[in-house]
Structure 1
């Protein structure tokens, strides 16, 4: 999966060079209880036709005595004039292959989210103008909710202090910390460990 991760980064660089539009790229380490277990990229690419694509690429490999997980996923969210048009999530894990698909059809979004132990098929009213992929590049200073491409549902946003927010859905409470308007760190707390996505550039 590491080779695939590097290959995708190369393809993005070549594509940007051909279009003469340099993508905005953020680099992250994925840390589990103090141990570096993976890498993550967040990419924002603007086109001349008013379209913007946000891409997340994550490659995580946890190999502990009591916990072994491999997760590789790509999120692609396409916006036009700041409105979500479509989103895809493709996930490969040691538990199987999963996907989520969100498509805008007139005044509705058709949602089909099938991830590990999560299945959701529904519709939501348009427009959606703020998703998790977009949140890597845009601090939620005026938003009270964010759409999660992975699960196909909204998370509530609660400000904690300057640059610090809680993204919440059911029992999931993740802390998002921003610096200069960009996502600097995500902290996910579990019963026996902490999972941190930390910016390194």
Structure 2
């Protein structure tokens, strides 16, 4: 049987591939996803998009996991991600877990991104010296374009978008492949490949 520490590691890896003040702009879209590990629903993710336009948007992702697996597993994961004039300019990722609290922050500074990524057994402060126009948070609301470069708000790492089959897109972050499945242009499921077990987020509404 897998240990609680190992299960928490799987969950944090999954969210790393994946908020925002509610008062920012008018809410334009929202959805919810069931979180599943080892075939068991262990939590839920709520996502929301606010802002004046697609070019000036704020993405708000809030995930909560709380279950018993030979020990208590708890995770409260919040992402705040902002775009201005179509460019990704700022994000924070705040994770509270039974193994500690972690905070990642990325901010555009004139000609580069200042990276301060900190999550379970991972740190990254290497700056990125080119503008980015897509992030993982954005994938919950719109289908990506092949060849786009996307950033993980948690890890501060980038990946190209690859369409591996019609309406199925793959990104690779920190060595982990993540698959986004769309139906009629709407995200239906996210699957994070893991050598132990897959981590799945299935759309509820």
The answer to whether 1:39 aligns with 2:44 is yes
Cα pair 1:156 1:169 within 8 Å, conserved: no
Unaligned segments of structure 1, at least 5 residues: 1-7
For residues 63 and 189 of structure 1, the distance between their equivalents in structure 2, rounded to whole angstroms, comes to 23
How many positions carry a matched residue from both structures? 187
Pick one of 98, 106, 109 that aligns with 2:102: 98
Structure 1 residue aligned with 2:29: 24
1:134-159 CA distances to partner (integer Å, 9 max, x unpaired)?
A: 11112112334310001111133221
Structure 2 residue aligned with 1:61: 66
1:155-179 CA distances to partner (integer Å, 9 max, x unpaired)?
A: 3322111110121134301211012
The structure whose residues are more often strand, as a share, is: 1
Cα pair 1:44 1:53 within 8 Å, conserved: yes
Greater RCO, CA 8 A, separation 6+: 2
Compute the TM-score of the two structures, normalised by the length of structure 2.
0.82
Structure 2 residue aligned with 1:3: none
Q: Offset at 1:68? A: 4.8
The answer to whether 1:142 aligns with 2:137 is no
Structure 2 residue aligned with 1:108: 112
- Please give the root-mean-square deviation of Cα atoms over the aligned residues, in Å: 2.3
Q: Offset at 1:63? A: 2.0
